[in-house]
Amino acid sequence: MKIGMIGIGDIAKKAYLPVLSQTKGIELHICTRNEDTLKDIANTYSIQHLYRDFDQWLASGISAAFVHSSTESHETIIDKLLDNGIHVYVDKPITYDLESSTRLMKKAESKGLLLMVGFNRRYALPYMKLKEIEEPNMVVMQKNRGHHAGESRQFVFDDFIHVIDTLLYLFPYPIEQIRIRGKQENGLLHHVVLQLEAAQGTAIGIMNREAGTTEEKVEVMNAHETRKVMNVNEVISHIDKNSLTLGSDDWQPTLEKRGFHGVIAAFLEAVKDGQVSAESYQRDLEAHVIAEKVVETLG
């Protein structure tokens, strides 16, 4: 398969190029306006199909594309890809607002094309261990940073959306009520607390951008066990007064543990099969729906 990639920023360099360049059965076609970046990619990965011109890249025969450009450019690029019958994988968020994100998702669905959002935490091996907890009554996730208060829409759609999607992944119940709290000061959002209520339990998502440190921790609880993950790494099970660290493969690559191998493989497999479920469109859009509610509530 001919697979395209456009926009070679930090995440593309750290995660997607290392995985895709080692993936068998695909031919990579890379597009970026930065000539130095193209030279670096050619030298590092021996990739031959490199483009600075978008239209030439678009006409190269790619069947699917990974979009890693700025969020502001997503809508224009995705529109053109879908118009040319090309499946799309895009870094979260699709766009910075629900209206345009919904339009693009409906457009993809009407054309029978994939529009998959890069929520890698669904495929992170430690979080898949949390997913094993049956009938959870509470899920709590914190994803904090130090000295990073920011404009609310970017704060929520660029970063907090990961928390939203992870809660939706780990909390398997229909949401009956949503509660949102936060701190705004001098036009900047400092922290957000999201509470999802269902008859069976509660899911709480917290992001504090003035926490003095960067950390991510998740707890999933049921009547018999509490299972925790710190910084998408070690899994600890607490039952009664006993704690057990669930074993993992020390040789497992970090990108595999953090879900990048899994999410990329899932997209490529869906492209290969040519089958897209109606459920997948709604699943990838749902976090954007809640993100818009958070922004509207906090102003």
Q: 254 to each of 12, 61, 248, 262, how far by Cα in Å?
A: 15, 32, 12, 12
Q: How confident is the model at residue 251 (pLDDT cuts 50, 70, 90)?
A: low
Assess whether pLDDT exceeds 90 at residue 66: yes
Task: Look at residue 256 in the predicted model and tell me its pLDDT.
Answer: 92
**Interstrand relation of 215-221 and 177-185 (parallel, antiparallel or unpaired):** unpaired
DSSP helix/strand/coil, 296: helix
Task: Report yes or no: 167 and 139 within 8 Å, Cβ to Cβ.
Answer: yes
Q: What stretches of 68-214 adopt beta strand conformation (E)?
A: 87-90, 115-117, 138-144, 177-185, 188-198, 201-208
**Selection from 12, 20, 19, 139 nearest residue 68 by Cα:** 12
Residue 270 to residue 264: CA distance in whole angstroms: 10
Task: Look at residue 32 in the predicted model and tell me its pLDDT.
Answer: 95
Task: Look at residue 45 in the predicted model and tell me its pLDDT.
Answer: 92
Task: Look at residue 246 in the predicted model and tell me its pLDDT.
Answer: 85
Task: Look at residue 253 in the predicted model and tell me its pLDDT.
Answer: 84
Assess whether pLDDT exceeds 90 at residue 235: yes
CB-based contacts of 88: which residues, under 8 Å, 6+ apart?
A: 64, 65, 67, 78, 81, 82, 108, 113, 114, 115, 116
Tell me the pLDDT tens digit for each residue of 161-204: 999 999 999 999 999 999 999 999 999 999 999 999 999 999 99
Burial class from Cβ neighbours inside 10 Å (0-12, 13-18, 19+) for residue 162 reads buried
The chain-wide mean pLDDT, for the chain, equals: 95
Least confident among 8-12, 71-75, 79-83, 106-110? 8-12
Question: Percent of the chain scored above 70 by pLDDT?
Answer: 98
Tell me the one-letter amino acid at 11: I
Query: What is the phi/psi pair of residue 165, to 5°?
Result: -65, -35
Task: Look at residue 252 in the predicted model and tell me its pLDDT.
Answer: 76
